[in-house]
Each structure stands twice: as C-alpha cells, then as structure tokens.
Amino acid sequence: MKHTFTFMGTGAGCGVPAFFCDCPACEEARANPNARRGDCGVMVTGSTRTLIDTPPDIRSYFNREGVRYIDDLIFTHWHYDHVGGLGELEYMVQLLTKKALPTFASPYTLESIGREFEYMMYCLARCPIEPFEQFEIDDVRYTALPVTHAPGTYGYLIETDETRLFYASDTGKLPPETAERIRGVDILAMDATYWKENGYPQNHHSVQECIEEGLELDAGKIYLTHMCMHYSEPITLAQLEEYLEQYDGRVTPAADGLSFEI
C-alpha cells in the first residue's frame, strides 16, 4: 500500500514570520506565502491518518489539507510548539470520532501532556513507548529513537515496504546508537533550526550541521525542517535555496504542505 508523508508545519518555535520580528526572513514571508512556516508536525496517510505532534497551528493545517479527522497520534516531545494545538482534538473526539485517540509517546512526554491537558485526557488512549521500541500502524513501522533534546524526546524511524525515513524535528547531534539505527535511510527529515551559528547545540542543529550529519549517515535525501530562519543570523528562503544548489537536489528545505510518497 502506498503511504504519503506530509509536512504539516516546518518552522521552529515562533514561526516565520514571527509576529514580533522585522528581519529579512520575516519580511520575505509576509510578502511570499511560500516562505511562511508554522510550527513543526507531519502526517502519514495510507488507509488511516497518523499525525506526529499537535503544534499550535494544527487547526489551520487540517483545514489546508482537508483533514476531517485523524486515527492515531504520536508525539516527539512535550514542548509548546509541538503540543500547543492538542486542545483542538477534544472537539474532534467529542463531536465526530467519539472514541479515545490512540496516542504514542515516551512515558515522560505522556506525563507532561497529562498534567498540561488534564481536562481532556478522556480523549486520549495513552500508549507509553520505551526507547527503541517499535510499533506498527496501518502497515507502517515506527521505531522510537532517543535524540538530543528535552527529556523523553524521540525521533521516529518510519518504515514502509518501500522507504526508510527518519523524522527528528528537534535534536542536537544524534546519540551514537540512534545514528547507527538510521544509517543509510532513504530520507532524513531533521532539525535545521539555526543558520550558521548554532545558539543551542545541545538541543538543535544548524543548517550546516544537519547537512553534514545527514551526508555522514549516507542519507539519500535530506529535508531541512524545524527551521527558524531568524535565530542567530537571518536568512531568506531565496538565499537558502541558492546556498543549497551545491547539493544538486539532495538537500531541500521542507515546506508547509509539502508531501511525497513513502
């Protein structure tokens, strides 16, 4: 069966444009909708829909993609830019699907979400996933791999019959065991928060570090995601695309709404 992988949002924290920012990247995004980025999340669609993370912009993503409901939910971690839209799903469960939504994440993340969204926990059927544990949804195998970020954060190795893809929206340099598990993936979609200077190397990658690590791991195709475009030093999408020409299409900035078959 064919599956589709969709970038719902591809920005870091405050999005592009950030409402409080007048840098060249934000001005570019105000003028050009293609350069706009909401907070990070992805969806895998086959005979069912699996959403990874519920960023604050999730309602507009669902409307943009024509998504009426999701069947399963996975979390990378518990930071606001990845969970802030969870409240939207209470209405979906109450008014449409009327059953608790299977929700996969680390025990730490589930506990954190349970505290923050206590009032709607009846909407979620929580499935704690241990590091390196595998689970299958709709003929897609997910492996939870620890990454270098906040406690309990995972990247997910996503495998279909056709494709091995590793998605890690938030991570510094990958832990060795995770790196070995994903060596040679067909597609790497990874944290590229900073341009040039990495202001938070224990939690994130720069564009340059993401590419370097992706090439070292022999990833077939590298999508840069969780891009801030204006931490450290601003860069416009036009400038970034020009910089990436040297990789002959092997490295591409992810974009909100971009999708491909896996």
Binding site for Zn ion (CB under 5 A): 21, 23, 25-26, 79, 81, 170, 230
What tokens does 47 get? 């005979």
CB-nearer residue toward Zn ion: 79 or 126: 79
Residue in the block written with tokens 């995770």? 178
User: Which residue lies nearer to Zn ion by CB, 38 or 214?
Assistant: 38
Among 90, 88, 91, 124, CA closest to 109: 124
Q: Which is nearer to Zn ion, 80 or 91 (CB)?
A: 80
* Smallest distance, Zn ion to C-beta of residue 200, A: 10
CB 43 within 8 A of CB 65: yes
Burial 220-231 (b: 16+ CB within 10 A, else e): ebbbbbbbbbbb
Minimum distance between the CB of residue 203 and Zn ion, rounded to whole angstroms? Answer: 7
Single out the residue of 66, 61, 77 nearest to residue 170, CA to CA: 77
Distance (Å, whole) CA 159 – CA 48: 16
* Complex with Zn ion: residue 23 or 110, whichever CB lies closer: 23
DSSP annotation of 131: T
The CB-of-208 to Zn ion minimum distance in angstroms stands at: 19
Least distance to Zn ion, CB of residue 2, Å: 29
